[in-house]
């Protein structure tokens, strides 16, 4: 086994044969080379295993793990973090692409600024063929000194979670609660991370997010999203708003910040939930009064 690399890249994948080779190539093409790539195959049924094995044989920086059964996407994402040995960590989707300079530029920021816990670049959307669809205009640098304001900025403004593809401080990331099985739990994780430090955006396009059927969540049905995150779950309840709300409260209350900062966050969240009371009520009604089948 190689000595501990500075950067660990974790690539969870399930039935990813269509784009997997290109995703791996974009990691291997990084101009910063001291990294390991951990591929965790969530019991894929396609050629994912063959593709990953072939790359692992050819590059000693790659390790391949195959889960004996589908453990769901959130647990597979945590699996690659748990296996990581580097000081810095990056999640890499098996659908998306990274600019060759992503690791080098983001690592340079984390090396220089101890107050930054997550560094990322600008993002653009690409289609099935890798052609540009549109840029993402949002800028998500968070430089406020108060944890409550950083947290509020995430919960109020982070929609498309492109920052998830950035470079994290691994030790800090492990202090957050693992991503849960409900939809948008990744947003709660990023909000919790903001309580520990600042976010920095490199002013270059470093992430190419694929928006195509079979790869992007927005093209999936509610049932497909539930199966992806909790395969074989008995309950088909769909509670993203309620579970995100509870997850945000929980993240604030367990974090190592002052009581006054926790109080500021709770007050902000209560105002948000009041403004969104109609959406919370609709979700409650949709789940409590689902029509029964088989009767």
> Which CATH number belongs to the domain containing residue 125 in this structure?
3.90.550.10
Residue 168 belongs to some domain of the structure: yes
pLDDT band at 264 (very low <50, low <70, confident <90, very high): very high
Residue 248 belongs to some domain of the structure: no
Residue 275 belongs to some domain of the structure: no
Q: What is the mean pLDDT of the chain?
A: 90
Q: CA–CA separation, 84 vs 7, rounded Å?
A: 8
Instruction: Give the mean pLDDT of 222-241.
Output: 67
| Percentage of the residues of the chain whose pLDDT score is greater than 70 | 89
pLDDT band at 9 (very low <50, low <70, confident <90, very high): very high
Residue 260 belongs to some domain of the structure: no
pLDDT band at 214 (very low <50, low <70, confident <90, very high): low
CA distances from 29 to 10, 100, 104, 120, 221 (A): 16, 6, 11, 17, 34
Question: Does residue 195 carry a pLDDT above 50?
Answer: yes
Residue 34 belongs to some domain of the structure: yes
Instruction: Give the mean pLDDT of 146-159.
Output: 94
Query: What pLDDT, in 10s, does the model give residues 41-86?
Result: 999 999 999 999 999 999 999 999 999 999 999 999 999 999 999 9
Q: What pLDDT is attached to residue 294?
A: 37
Asked if 106 contacts 167 with a C-beta cutoff of 8 angstroms, the reply is yes
Q: Is 17 left (phi over 0), alpha (psi -120 to 50) or beta?
A: alpha
Residue 95 belongs to some domain of the structure: yes
Q: Are strands 35-41 and 116-126 parallel, antiparallel or unpaired?
A: unpaired
Q: CA–CA separation, 37 vs 39, rounded Å?
A: 6
Residue 103 belongs to some domain of the structure: yes
Q: What pLDDT is attached to residue 291?
A: 54
pLDDT band at 217 (very low <50, low <70, confident <90, very high): low
pLDDT band at 8 (very low <50, low <70, confident <90, very high): very high
| Percentage of the residues of the chain whose pLDDT score is greater than 90 | 73
CA 155 to chain CA centroid, Å, is 15
Residue 295 belongs to some domain of the structure: no
Q: Which position has the token pair 């309580």?
A: 195
Q: How many domains does the chain have?
A: 1
CA distances from 224 to 7, 53, 186, 212, 236 (A): 33, 28, 17, 15, 11
Q: What pLDDT is attached to residue 284?
A: 80
Query: What pLDDT, in 10s, does the model give residues 80-123?
Result: 999 999 999 999 999 999 999 999 999 999 999 999 999 999 99
Half-sphere exposure of 45 (CA within 13 A, CB side): 2
- Containing domain of residue 87, as a range? 7-218
pTM score above 0.75: yes
pLDDT band at 293 (very low <50, low <70, confident <90, very high): very low
Instruction: Give the mean pLDDT of 186-204.
Output: 96
Query: What pLDDT, in 10s, does the model give residues 267-287?
Result: 999 998 888 888 778 878 877
């Amino acid at each position: 086994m190689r000595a501990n690399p500075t950067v660990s890249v974790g690539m969870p994948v399930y039935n990813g044969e269509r784009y997997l080779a290109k995703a791996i190539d974009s990691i291997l093409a990084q101009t910063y080379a001291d990294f390991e790539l951990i591929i965790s195959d969530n019991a894929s049924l396609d050629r994912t295993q063959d593709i990953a094995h072939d790359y692992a044989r050819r590059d000693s920086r790659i390790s391949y793990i195959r889960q004996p059964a589908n453990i769901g996407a959130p647990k597979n994402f945590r699996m690659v973090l748990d296996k990581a040995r580097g000081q810095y960590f990056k999640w890499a989707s098996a659908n998306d692409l990274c600019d060759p300079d992503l690791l080098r530029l983001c690592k340079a920021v984390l090396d220089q600024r101890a107050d930054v816990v997550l560094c990322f670049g600008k993002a653009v959307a690409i289609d099935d063929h890798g052609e540009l669809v549109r840029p993402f205009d949002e800028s998500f640098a968070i430089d406020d000194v108060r944890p409550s304001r950083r947290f509020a900025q995430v919960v109020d403004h982070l929609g498309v979670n492109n920052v998830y593809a950035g470079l994290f401080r691994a030790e800090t990331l492990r202090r957050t609660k693992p991503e849960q099985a409900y939809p948008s739990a990744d947003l709660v994780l990023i909000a919790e991370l903001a309580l520990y430090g600042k976010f920095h955006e490199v002013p270059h396009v470093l992430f190419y997010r694929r928006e195509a059927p079979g790869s992007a969540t927005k093209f999936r049905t509610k049932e497909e999203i539930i199966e992806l995150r909790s395969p074989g779950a008995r309950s088909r309840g769909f509670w993203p708003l309620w579970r995100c709300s509870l997850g945000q409260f929980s993240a604030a209350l367990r974090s190592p910040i002052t009581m006054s900062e926790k109080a500021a966050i709770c007050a902000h969240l209560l105002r948000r939930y009041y403004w969104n009371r109609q959406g919370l009520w609709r979700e409650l009604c949709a789940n409590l009064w689902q029509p029964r089948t088989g009767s």
